Structure 1
């Protein structure tokens, strides 16, 4: 029983040592990230509007080359939107804490 308690305490100490401290000051990098987020939202709206325009077009009168060019444009827009959207990231410390909670409970 004592070894389990010591092991739990060791895991808690290690998880606290791994996590990085958070500071209350706003540095220019975070300020720039906020500005980038607003421009990213504007870019995604522009891309979505362009995709809607392309889908609403009457493509029956277009030549084969024009349709191919539109397909390329849509592919480029989709790849750039994927790059702008980012993803959900979980830190290593959070994963360790989750695993510890699962093991304890």
Structure 2
């Protein structure tokens, strides 16, 4: 009897974990953002024009009186800003990020070489 209860509890626990992993991949703010394939096919002029559009939209949002908006409208603005931020980072090319561990390894290699 105990084994059946443990088996059912384990099955329920694993099934709940599986559902959560799929739910976390859906983003509401990415609905208006361009896909990576669309960004890859854009020219530099198109990318710069899109970045300017994003900047003007962000400035419009900053100029709004947010105290007059409803809770749902503020939530929509937040998701739109998140989507614009992700799109702007994708258009900008990102950057080079080094972790602390990578920096330490690079310094050690340089000391060994020199």
Any unmatched runs of 5+ in structure 1? 1-32, 90-102
Q: What is the root-mean-square deviation in Å for CA atoms of aligned residues?
A: 2.4
**Consecutive aligned runs of 4 or more in structure 1 exceeding 6 Å deviation:** none
Question: 2:47 maps to what in 1?
Answer: 40
**Which has the higher relative contact order, 1 or 2, with Cα contacts under 8 A spaced 6 or more apart?**
1
* Superposition TM-score, scaled by structure 1 size: 0.50
* 1:22-63 C-alpha deviation (Å, 9 max, x unpaired): xxxxxxxxxxx8x61000000000000000000110011110
Q: Which of 86, 91, 101 does residue 79 from structure 1 map onto?
A: 86
| Cα distance in 2, alignment partners of residues 73 and 45 from structure 1 | 16
| Cα distance in 1, alignment partners of residues 74 and 94 from structure 2 | 32
Rg: which structure is higher? Answer: 1
Aligned length: 61
| Cα distance in 1, alignment partners of residues 57 and 78 from structure 2 | 12
* Superposition TM-score, scaled by structure 2 size: 0.46
**Alignment CA distance shift 1:51-1:36 (3 Å):** same
